[in-house]
A and B are shown apart, each in its own frame.
Chain A
Amino acid sequence: MGLIAAAMEERGIRTVCLSTFEPIMDQVRPPRWMALPYPLGFPLGPPHRPELQARILREAFRLLEEPGPGPVRREYDPERDG
């Protein structure tokens, strides 16, 4: 995913990555990424939780405000806003 992100950023598209697997992110280094407290295969948490999914996306898009350089990491805290 880091290589796909690099192709986008090199061509002018900003990327935001959701990840549940920190060891891999440390290796592939996407430019902006949010660490999520869920198992592999659940980047937006448990299924059928539209409010949670929307909160995760809102929080992830805030990474676009970071001035850089990357990698920039933000942690999603499910307790923070319920």
Chain B
Amino acid sequence: MATLSDLSLKDRLWYHRYRFRRVEPLPWQAQGPAVERCKVATVTTAGLHLPDDPPFEKVKGGDYSYRMVPLDAPLTSLVCSHPSGAWDRSGVEADRNLALPLDRLRSLAEAGEIGEVAPRHVSFQGSITAPLRLVKQTAPEVADALIHDGVDVVLLTPV
């Protein structure tokens, strides 16, 4: 488990000053099928995307855009353009399953432990310090796209 002391001094100072936005009361979807019948998608903030997609940008407030990753994309072809130096990307670069565990979800689906793997998965970059357009625009857009795909459960993998 990482702790605050793992962050650089600059990132620690930011953390102590930053006022995190959250939704109150906490939304909680109580109903849903058993996991063996669920269609599962992954949403990561590792900034992974297809090689032909535009990279995430280092902009003030953070890049609130997202990239869709089709299930049939070769995982090893995905590139990481997350601009933050606050995390060690060597693991994700060695094995994309650390952020988008699509190989593992496929195996779990084949074994009947989850219902199905969704046709599309999603990548954001983290470090979005001004999240208004994420909240108003891109997060709802992504949720609607996943609902369109029939997704029941989203696995979130922040880095």
B22: chain A residues within 8 A (beta carbon): 2-3, 6, 27-29
Tell whether, in the assembled complex, residue A4 and residue B134 are in contact, meaning their CB atoms are under 8 Å apart.
Answer: yes
Q: Beyond A18-B157, A29-B26, is A61–B1 a contact (Cβ under 8 Å)?
A: no
A47 at the interface (CB under 8 A from B): yes
Tell whether, in the assembled complex, residue B146 and residue A13 are in contact, meaning their CB atoms are under 8 Å apart.
Answer: yes
Please give the number of chain A residues whose Cβ is less than 8 angstroms from any Cβ of chain B in the complex.
56
Q: How far is the CA of A10 from the CA of B142 in the complex (A)?
A: 13
How many A-B residue contacts, CB cutoff 8 Å? 187
Please give the number of chain B residues whose Cβ is less than 8 angstroms from any Cβ of chain A in the complex.
63
Give B11-52 interface residues, CB cut-off 8 Å to A: 15, 20-23, 25-30, 32, 35, 38, 43, 45-46
Contact of A57 among B15, B26, B155 (CB under 8 A): B155
Q: How far is the CA of A5 from the CA of B95 in the complex (A)?
A: 24
Taken residue by residue from 2 to 20, chain A's Cβ proximity to chain B (1 for < 8 Å, 0 otherwise) reads as: 1111111111111111111
A48 at the interface (CB under 8 A from B): yes
A82 at the interface (CB under 8 A from B): no
Give A25-82 interface residues, CB cut-off 8 Å to B: 27-31, 35-48, 50, 53-54, 57-58, 60-61, 64, 67-71
Tell whether, in the assembled complex, residue B114 and residue A61 are in contact, meaning their CB atoms are under 8 Å apart.
Answer: yes
Tell whether, in the assembled complex, residue A31 and residue B94 are in contact, meaning their CB atoms are under 8 Å apart.
Answer: no
Give B120-159 interface residues, CB cut-off 8 Å to A: 124, 126, 131, 134-135, 139-140, 142-144, 146-147, 151-159
In the A-B complex, the 7 residue pairs with the smallest Cβ-Cβ separation, listed nearest first, are A47-B95, A7-B139, A9-B27, A41-B87, A47-B94, A27-B20, A6-B23
